[in-house]
Amino acid sequence: MLKPNAHYTELKDSYLFYHIAQKTKAYLDVHPGAHLYRMGIGDVSQPLCKAAIDALHTAVDDQAQESTFHGYMPECGAPFLREAIAAHYAARDVALDADEVFVSSGASDELGDILDLFERGSTVLIPEPAYPAYVDANVIAGNRIVHLPTGKAQGFLPLPDTKIEADVIYLCSPSNPTGAVLSRAQLQQWIDHANRTGAVILFDAAYEAFIEDGALPHSIFELPGARTCAIEICSLSKTAGFTGTRLGYTVLPKTLERCGQNLNAMWVRNRTTKTNGISYILQKGGAAIFTQEGQTQIKAQIAVYKRNAKILTDALNDCGIWYTGGKNAPYIWLECPGGMKSWDFFDYLLQNAQIIGTPGAGFGACAEGYFRFSCFGSVQETTMAAKRLKEVC
Ligand code: PLP
């Protein structure tokens, strides 16, 4: 008799967003037609930039001609895109070979799939508050999860604890949900810790494009020692509005080895077995993001989300509410006023200001009493939400 993976029974319900949707529906049932200010969404609102759209159109036309048609693409990514991404890193003084860049269909897929590199039952360290998929992917894989709580005193930034031993360490910087960013010195501590203990860091850099402070690292590979302990998982979702188009990339150095096995070679083997590559059309669209024109256009889009962040953080400053994030990230993480719990503050904002945010408690036990605003809406909506926030807080 087939035995299903019993670890699925250990998964907690994806309570957070389901519960938000339920509460929102209940409010609208009582207040039909009410306008809600959705400051909780993690999806972008601006369309793809012109450089990407033009490249996508051209690539579609390529597929119509025998002379330019592309069938299966190389499993690890088209050389033109791998080279463009390596050149993008080179511009930041990070030397990569193109075959250390793996094109993916997004960070979510990679964050789960990459666990194929590690033995089942590995110990995985997840600093919290955390992006919920880290926990769920590891529950499904049957790994042992060690939660590392962080708090206000350290700005919600995790630092290595020598007492905790882990095989795999997740780091997300800029962080979803807190918007906090590890400094070079803090990230260096993690790199040194991983090299000392033999752990591998999975560095989720999905929000690196939002960093504006020149002293903060965009990539873990900007720091010495990372090439022997880190894998970087990146996405064009928030960088360039590819949430619905789907494209990402993973950097896995050829110098990363454990127990005599080369993880880059293993990942090549994995991808050539489990994928047939990413569509030619999407990779052409993605390559356009790494041109000068594409970079200028996505920076203009990110500036809109940053403007939203400023509007919201100005309002929080006026209300005297503590927060982190917002400056180098599209998320603002705030302390619920008056000692309110996360879900109580959610209800309070919904009932009194028709604002929907995300209760921190959904991101880990240490996040109770905190709340997340995201900055991906329109400037107009965000401005109205900030005004209402000031009226009720
Ligand atoms: N990592 C983090 C921290 C995220 O917040 C998200 C999406 O919200 C992802 C990864 C997934 O990104 P993708 O759309 O590339 O799957």
pLDDT averaged over consecutive 10-residue blocks of the chain (393 residues)?
Answer: 94 84 96 95 93 98 98 98 98 97 96 96 97 94 96 96 92 98 98 97 98 97 98 98 98 98 98 97 98 98 97 98 98 98 98 97 94 96 97 95
Write down which residue in 291, 313, 336 finishes a domain: 291
- The answer for residues whose C-beta is within 8 angstroms of residue 85's C-beta and 6 or more apart is 96, 98, 101, 103, 249, 290
Q: Are 256 and 264 in contact (CB under 8 A)?
A: yes
Q: State whether the beta carbon of 177 lies less than 6 angstroms from ligand 1.
A: no
| Position 45 in a domain | no
User: Are 312 and 178 found together in one domain?
Assistant: no
For residue 335, what pLDDT is reported? 98
Q: Where in 150-277 does DSSP place strands (E)?
A: 168-172, 200-204, 230-235, 248-251, 257-258, 261-262
User: Are 119 and 180 found together in one domain?
Assistant: yes
Q: Is 391 exposed, middle or buried (0-12, 13-18, 19+ CB in 10 A)?
A: exposed
| Position 2 in a domain | no
Measured distance CA(390)–CA(319) in Å, rounded: 6
Measured distance CA(276)–CA(74) in Å, rounded: 7
For residue 15, what pLDDT is reported? 75
**Distance from Cα 323 to the centre of ligand 1, integer Å:** 22
| Position 6 in a domain | no
Q: State whether the beta carbon of 294 lies less than 6 angstroms from ligand 1.
A: no
Nearest-CA residue for atom 8 of ligand 1: 42
Task: For residue 207, give the nearest of 184, 168, 236, 250 by alpha carbon.
Answer: 236
Q: Which atom of ligand 1 is nearest to the CA of 248?
A: 15
Q: Which atom of ligand 1 is nearest to the CA of 108?
A: 16
User: Are 85 and 34 found together in one domain?
Assistant: no
| Position 154 in a domain | yes
| Position 88 in a domain | yes
**Distance from Cα 250 to the centre of ligand 1, integer Å:** 13
Which residue carries 């960013």 as its tokens?
Answer: 181
Write down which residue in 259, 291, 323 finishes a domain: 291
Write down which residue in 291, 323, 355 finishes a domain: 291
User: Are 146 and 208 found together in one domain?
Assistant: yes
**Distance from Cα 68 to the centre of ligand 1, integer Å:** 33
For a ligand 1 pocket test, name from 235, 245, 358, 372 the mutation site with the most ligand atoms within 8 angstroms of its C-beta.
235
Q: What number of other Cβ atoms are within 10 A of residue 231's Cβ?
A: 24
Q: What are phi and psi of 57, to 5 degrees?
A: -60, -45
Nearest-CA residue for atom 5 of ligand 1: 176
User: Are 147 and 252 found together in one domain?
Assistant: yes
User: Are 115 and 32 found together in one domain?
Assistant: no
**For the chain, how many helices (H) and strands (E)?**
12, 15
- The answer for residues whose C-beta is within 8 angstroms of residue 214's C-beta and 6 or more apart is none
Q: State whether the beta carbon of 176 lies less than 6 angstroms from ligand 1.
A: yes
H/E stretch holding 108: helix 107-113
| Position 1 in a domain | no
- The answer for residues whose C-beta is within 8 angstroms of residue 48's C-beta and 6 or more apart is 56, 240, 241, 242, 245, 285
For residue 108, what pLDDT is reported? 93
For residue 122, what pLDDT is reported? 97
In the Cβ-directed half-sphere of 129, how many Cα atoms lie within 13 Å? 30
Q: Both tokens of residue 117?
A: 């590199």
For residue 17, what pLDDT is reported? 86
For residue 163, what pLDDT is reported? 87
Q: Which domain holds residue 385?
A: 11-40+294-392
For residue 67, what pLDDT is reported? 98
| Position 308 in a domain | yes
- The answer for residues whose C-beta is within 8 angstroms of residue 122's C-beta and 6 or more apart is 143, 144, 167, 168
| Position 311 in a domain | yes
Identify the CATH number of the domain in which residue 106 sits.
Answer: 3.40.640.10
User: Are 264 and 386 found together in one domain?
Assistant: no
User: Are 246 and 286 found together in one domain?
Assistant: yes
User: Are 306 and 287 found together in one domain?
Assistant: no
- The answer for residues whose C-beta is within 8 angstroms of residue 4's C-beta and 6 or more apart is none
Q: State whether the beta carbon of 107 lies less than 6 angstroms from ligand 1.
A: yes
> pTM of the predicted model, to two decimals?
0.97
Q: Where in the chain does DSSP place strands (E)?
A: 37-38, 101-104, 123-128, 144-149, 168-172, 200-204, 230-235, 248-251, 257-258, 261-262, 323-325, 331-335, 355-356, 358-359, 370-374
For a ligand 1 pocket test, name from 43, 108, 278 the mutation site with the most ligand atoms within 8 angstroms of its C-beta.
108
Give percent helix, percent strand, percent coil of the chain, each to the nearest 5. Answer: 45, 15, 40
User: Are 280 and 324 found together in one domain?
Assistant: no
Identify the CATH number of the domain in which residue 363 sits.
Answer: 3.90.1150.10
For residue 12, what pLDDT is reported? 85
Q: How far is CA 288 from the centre of its chain?
A: 21
Q: Both tokens of residue 14?
A: 């994806």
User: Are 84 and 186 found together in one domain?
Assistant: yes
Measured distance CA(67)–CA(57) in Å, rounded: 17
**Distance from Cα 58 to the centre of ligand 1, integer Å:** 28
- The domain total for the chain is 2
Amino acid identity at 149: P
User: Are 155 and 268 found together in one domain?
Assistant: yes
